Amino acid sequence: MTRFALTVEYDGRPFMGWQRQSHGPSVQAALEEAVLAITGEAASVQAAGRTDAGVHALAMRAHVEIAKDIAPFRLMEALNARLRPAPVAVLAVRPVADDWHARFSCVGRAYEYRIVNRRAPLTFEKGLAWQIPQPLDADAMAAGAARLVGRHDFTTFRSAHCQADSPVRTLDRLDVTRDGDLVLVEAAARSFLHHQVRSMVGCLALVGMGRWSPDDVADALAARDRARLGLNAPPDGLFFTGAVYPAG
């Protein structure tokens, strides 16, 4: 039995999310069905994060155990052949130690959220970014983001359906930058609560529009009350961009 680490890219629009669902397609199910077709084995594919419906990934890390003798490159090629035409691609495959776990061995996760700040409709980026037509002040958004960095109780920015034992998280980084019409929010932490990134981005967008001040973000955080959330951003612009593991 060999445990393989996978790096997976996907467009989340056709899926109910990463995790297998009884009521619709998922990225996990697509990969597991591809493994079954290749090896005849009903293997479970575990990931570093469980993205929601409509959320994308540039480099999701996952693992799967396979008894069949197969080289990593051959497995990658076979998975990609079986996954077509689903918008899922396996970018890399490598063998790892039996105790390496895509989720539990992970010590850091990163996301980016893409906002296109223009009045003209989206064409190529439709479903891959959040369009906001009114002007955004990215500097004010960055000031609001700074209020959220550090170790806090993020109850305000946590979905009512979040299953985490504690709302306390350490947000290592929350950067806001602008490049033309693109406003990019980049977040990094050991782990995130359900909807935490989307909720933070939604409130930062209110700051950018001038409807909130940066201090309003701090006040919402201090309230520790989901009812104080200003806005939950749509899933369209959210991408899982990377997972960090201990060296060795």
Give catalytic residue positions. Answer: 52
Cβ-proximal residues to 120 (8 Å cutoff; 6+ apart), any chain? none
| Residue matched to tokens 């790096």 | 7
For residue 1, the 8-state DSSP code is -
Cα–Cα distances in angstroms (integers) from residue 175 to residues 18, 34, 178, 225, in the given order? 25, 37, 10, 24
Within 10 angstroms of residue 149's Cβ, the number of other Cβ atoms is 16
Distance from the first to the final alpha carbon of the chain = 21
Within 10 angstroms of residue 17's Cβ, the number of other Cβ atoms is 19
Among the listed residues 239, 236, 115, the one whose alpha carbon sits nearest the alpha carbon of residue 180: 115
